[in-house]
Amino acid sequence: MKDQPARGAPAEQVSEEAQDAPASLEVSGDAEAWSVALPDGVLLRASPYLGHNPPAWLGSSLRRRMQLGIAFFTLAITVLLIVAGFGVTAALAPFTAGSIRTAGQVTSQQPYQIKRNDHCTLGIVFTLHGQQQEATVDSGRSCTASVQPGTQVELALNPDNPGDIAVLGHGYPREDTWKGIVFAGVAAFVFLGILMVLSVFSYRRTRRLFSQGTRWHEVSAIVRIRTRDWKGTTLLLDAQDTEGNTRAFTMDIRGSGPWWPKPRQDDTLNLTLLANGTEHAAISIEGDHRLYPVRLAIRYKFQFRSRWV
């Protein structure tokens, strides 16, 4: 008679960390255990027996780094919206419904330069609530092209700060400042938004790779070509498929890669590879506690002439 668990005993709980742990080295003799899937349905000959235990996804520096990237872009967008909101509010203050319109007179000009460009500050007097006020405004152009002293102008005043004025009807930059702020804010929002969306998709794609229960494999490949550009490092590799044919594939990785010394032509690489048949995969290096996302692609002979030769 089989032993039964005691009545009322708690069921065994499996932690999230345990679910994310590397697969057991006890494998069966089925073909799937001795092959790893690459894009285009290619199955490389591989071994499920690993020389080291790859780090788990949970708690890995790769996971933390990707989460921090998403948090950074979220914070940056939030700050951008707050700053842009304050900027537009300040720029529109003299033009809002509660603004005050009054006449004024230009009394002086003060020239100055910014990066060898001539600018001019205008001194203006106006009357507000029966009292004479003085203020200055930047004309956004040289003094010779600005309104000259003695000229009568129409002013828009911020009721909360009478010194915050804008000259109307002369094309001065204050009238269009809010447009520049909105344009710059929208451009920055779109740019940061695209980066955040890409970061989220990259994180979800990588998390899915590690959460599918795919087994890590050891793959032996020969380096044919190694190239480096601003995107990172690309290795052109040869490895045998399950039918004994030599298959060429590329592996793209950010930066210079985790290897030292750098692999050279005809070197043999023993890759600890996690792949599920898509172009997105990961590798682990013995003695290195980091996970490295890579991109795989099958290469055919007709492609070598245009890219590699």
The sign one gets for the Cα dihedral 23, 27, 30, 35 is: positive
User: Sign of the C-alpha dihedral, residues 56, 62, 66, 67?
Assistant: positive
Which among 288, 292, 237 is positioned nearest to 263, based on CA atoms? 237
Q: Is the dihedral of CA 210, 212, 217, 220 positive or negative?
A: negative
C-alpha 84/C-alpha 138 separation (Å) is 21
Question: Are 51 and 270 contacting, i.e. CB atoms less than 8 angstroms apart?
Answer: yes
d(CA 150, CA 107): 6
Note the helical H segments in the chain.
Answer: 16-19, 61-92, 177-211, 301-307
pLDDT at residue 4 in the model: 45
Give residue 98's pLDDT.
61
| Residue-level length of the chain | 309
Strand, helix or coil for residue 115 = coil
Rounded Cα–Cα distance for residues 261 and 219 (Å): 19
Below-50 pLDDT ranges, the chain: 1-28, 302, 305-306, 308-309
- Residue 292 has what pLDDT? 94
pLDDT at 145: 83
Total Cβ atoms within 10 A of residue 18 = 10
Cα→Cα distances 65→16, 184, 199, 291, Å: 20, 29, 11, 11
What are the backbone angles phi and psi of residue 142, rounded to the nearest 5°? Answer: -70, 165
Predicted local confidence at residue 54, as pLDDT? 92
d(CA 110, CA 118): 11
Rounded distance, CA 236 to CA 265, Å? 9
Strands 35-37 and 43-45: antiparallel
Q: Give the pLDDT score at 9.
A: 40
> Which residue from 242, 270, 251 is spatially nearest to 45, judged by alpha carbons?
242
Asked if residue 261 has a cis previous peptide bond (ω within 30° of 0), the answer is: yes
> What does the pLDDT look like over 40-71, one tens digit per residue?
999 999 999 998 899 999 989 999 999 999 99
Report the DSSP beta bridge partners of residue 274.
Answer: 282
Specify the pLDDT at position 11.
38
Provide the pLDDT for residue 97.
Answer: 53
Domain ranges of the chain: 16-54+216-307, 62-212
